[in-house]
Amino acid sequence: MNEMMTKLLNAMKSEIINEIMEKVINHFEGLIANNKEFYTLKEVSHITGLTERQIKNRYRNGTIKHIYDGRTPLIPSIELEKLLNKLKKQM
């Protein structure tokens, strides 16, 4: 009985997490569509939930494209959209 309840609770927890993540991603996709051409690491981190280090690793590995404004790395909005779509598929 306990094992069955645990499985049921875990399944419900997964469904709730997926629903919440989908709403969060949809919310931020709407924000992205509204204006900005480039995002800072801090903004991308806030939007995706990834750390700045994880984002740096992704552009260093060539997973996402970036440009520099002086010494500041910026992520194009199209790259942020692609990243959000990848994260959405991983859920």
Q: How far is CA 78 from the centre of its chain?
A: 13
Structure tokens at 17: 């997490």
The model carries a pTM of 0.63
Q: What's residue 45's pLDDT? A: 92
Question: What are the tens digits of pLDDT across the range 9-65?
Answer: 888 888 888 888 787 777 777 666 667 889 999 999 988 889 999 999 999 999 999
Structure tokens at 33: 């569509």
User: What's the alpha-carbon Rg for the chain, to the nearest Å?
Assistant: 17
Domains and CATH numbers, the chain: 2-90 (1.10.10)
